[in-house]
Amino acid sequence: MAEEYREALLKKDVYYENCPGCKVDQLKELKRGFPFRELISIWIVVLCTALPISTLFPFLYFMIRDFGVAEREEDIGYYAGYVGSSFMIGRALTSVFLGNRTIAVVIFNTLFGLSVNFWMAIITRFLLGSLNGLLGPIKAYAVEIFRAEYQALGLSTVSTAWGIGLIIGPALGGFLAQPAEKYPNLFSKESIFGRFPYFLPCLCISLFRVGGHDCHVLASGNFAYAP
């Protein structure tokens, strides 16, 4: 009886054909060394998710003012609250089902920068939040792709990248919004950045997301899937 239990405990796991989870487990067993590529992959994905959340707050007041929707200056904050919260409202309602549509960061974040009125800004931010719920899945992804000794490091990378994204986002919004006024030698008022003064920070984040997706696929190419 003792020999029977001893053999069962020492027996290797059984891997099934056409099983994605089995393929991931097999690859984890084969990988050795520090997981630099996987950490970079997670860092990029979380950073791309965090940047659109906070980048608008430095220029949101001026955007609402330019829309002309507020009759009094005191009402600007009231309308700004709707635009600022619409992202999280959308995220709370639908990101559980649609959070894997990462292309939304590129499409709707860009459209938000091109908003010409209050309702366009509300709708694009709402849709951006609705389709941008990767924070939960990326934590599960971090647990699955790392060997047991590096799983804690992978999860801490998620929190660190999230915090840094919430720092860089407002910095981008503050430095790059209204470029035709701040940097007239580089951007003319007749250019697209002059006609859409809040487009540049949104465009930069969208381009970073496009490049970040390619880097993420390359970094996680040895695995069966990528978020």
Under DSSP, the state recorded for 56 is T
Distance from C-alpha of 147 to C-alpha of 29, rounded to nearest angstrom: 7
Question: What pLDDT digit, counting tens, does each position of 98-110 carry?
Answer: 555 567 778 888 9
In a structure prediction context, what are the per-residue pLDDT tens digits for the chain, which is 227 residues long?
A: 444 444 444 444 566 677 766 766 777 777 777 778 888 888 888 888 888 888 999 999 999 999 999 989 989 999 999 999 998 888 888 766 655 556 777 888 899 999 999 999 999 999 888 877 777 778 877 777 787 788 888 888 888 898 999 999 999 999 999 999 999 999 999 999 999 999 999 999 988 888 766 555 555 554 444 44
The total number of residues written for the chain in this structure: 227
Domain spanning 35-219, CATH architecture = Up-down Bundle (1.20)
Strand, coil or helix: 100: coil
Taking CA atoms, 106 is separated from 5, 88, 98, 205, 211, in Å, by 55, 17, 15, 8, 11
pTM, two decimal places: 0.76
Distance from C-alpha of 96 to C-alpha of 15, rounded to nearest angstrom: 30
Distance from C-alpha of 154 to C-alpha of 138, rounded to nearest angstrom: 10
What's at 28, amino acid-wise?
K
Question: What pLDDT digit, counting tens, does each position of 79-123 carry?
Answer: 999 999 998 888 888 766 655 556 777 888 899 999 999 999 999
